[in-house]
Amino acid sequence: MRQLSDPLTYFLVAARHEHLTKAAQELEISQPALSRNIARLERAYGVQLFDRLGRGLRLNMAGQILLQHLERAKAELDDAADAIREHTQKVAHTISIGFLATFGVTLIPELVRGYVSPLEVVPPFRLLQGPAPFLRARLAARDIDLCIASPRFPDANLEWKSLFHEELFVVVPSNHSLAATSTIDLAAVADEPFVMLKSEYGLRQVAEELCLDAGFTPRIAFEVEEVATLRGLVGAGVGVAIAPRPVLEVTALTKDLRVRAPRCRRAVGLLWRKDRRLPSETVRFRDYVLSHFGSADAKSSHVHTV
């Protein structure tokens, strides 16, 4: 952040934390020094930028306006630095991509293999997997350039291109009364306890919406952080779940049932920041991924099971 003047840098960090002590610790300056710099900036603009709440801060409308413009300016400065480095050093840029953990077994390896196979010089990759909230934060922090996730992140600063729709199944214990069937209506499990991911996870949001479409609110018995744990608990007989089909051999303790109605699937897409200049190698990989699934948003009806 040293590309901006110190008061503006301090403002950005303080705006992110909305807490003087935390911001001062990140900046490695004293809290009084941080307060003086913010006060100097407020005098320069002739308005208060924060509402004071003890040691806490809350951005007011003037502060929000300044933050929006500074974030754009910071992004432009970072892009300029990247472009200069690319022009002068001609280095192989690392392709950084985040993705949901369920895509790490086949989808991501297939895309990487398909991209690098015709190349004489293989560019370095940085692969980061995690849940949707983690990936969204990493995109916002510019720690990754691209992201494959579901559903679309509610952020106007992110570009989204649909890649495919992934089918979702009802997972039941193998000794469940419905396990002898292969296809059901989602309403058939309306009275069952559900195992779901935590509320901030994309699959949880999709699953709850599907249940509402089927006419019921799911009764959640367990919340977990991984699909593998979700399936394990279903196998233990504590509930049912909505999940993508696994790519590895599944335990005999569970059975996946296809859903007739409502149509159970989730949109999977590629995301990147609109205000970020992507390195040329990353642009080539992004374009390869889009072409792999067809032109932008062209395969909205495709079902890709991973």
For residue 170, CA distances in Å to 34, 204, 242 come to 53, 13, 5
Return the pLDDT at 77.
Answer: 79
Contacts of residue 283, Cβ cutoff 8 Å, sequence gap at least 6: none
- Identify the band that residue 300 occupies on the pLDDT scale cut at 50, 70 and 90: very low
The pLDDT value recorded for residue 87 is 59
Answer yes or no: are the C-beta atoms of 82 and 277 closer than 8 Å: yes
- 27-36, 52-61, 82-91, 136-145: lowest mean pLDDT where? 82-91
More confident residue, 292 or 71: 292
pLDDT band at residue 85 under the 50/70/90 scheme: low
Q: Averaged over 82-92, what is the pLDDT?
A: 60
Report, in angstroms and rounded to the nearest whole number, the Rg of the chain calculated over CA atoms: 23
Please report the pLDDT score of residue 252 as a whole number.
85
Could you tell me the fold of the domain covering 165-266?
A: D-Maltodextrin-Binding Protein; domain 2 (3.40.190)
Q: Is the dihedral of CA 62, 67, 72, 76 positive or negative?
A: positive
pLDDT, tens digit, for every residue of 226-253?
Answer: 898 999 999 999 999 999 988 665 668 9
For β-strands 158-173 and 265-273, DSSP reports them as antiparallel
Pairing of strands 56-59, 50-53: antiparallel
Domain coordinates of the chain in residue numbers?
Answer: 6-88, 92-163+267-292, 165-266
Name the least confident of 34-38, 126-130, 145-149, 175-179.
34-38
Q: State residue 263's pLDDT score.
A: 95
pTM of the model: 0.67
Q: Which whole number is the average pLDDT over 272-297?
A: 87
For residue range 13-50, list pLDDT tens digits in order. 888 888 888 888 888 888 888 888 888 898 999 999 99
Instruction: Indicate whether 63 pLDDT > 70.
Output: yes
Annotation: CATH topology of 6-88: Arc Repressor Mutant, subunit A (1.10.10)
Say if 92-163+267-292 and 165-266 have the same CATH topology. yes
Candidate from 35-44, 54-63, 97-106, 291-300 with smallest mean pLDDT? 291-300
Across the range 206-223, mean pLDDT stands at 97
Q: Is 138 in contact with 198 (CB distance < 8 Å)? A: no
Domain range 92-163+267-292, CATH architecture: 3-Layer(aba) Sandwich (3.40)
Confidence at residue 74, expressed as pLDDT on a 0 to 100 scale: 79
pLDDT of residue 149: 95
SS3 at position 256: strand
The answer to whether residue 1 scores a pLDDT higher than 80 is no
Residues 129, 130, 134: CA angle, nearest 5 degrees: 125
Write down the pLDDT at residue 303: 39
| pLDDT at site 301 | 37
148 burial (CB, 10 Å; 0-12 / 13-18 / 19+) is: buried
Mean pLDDT of the chain: 87
Residue 299: what pLDDT? 42
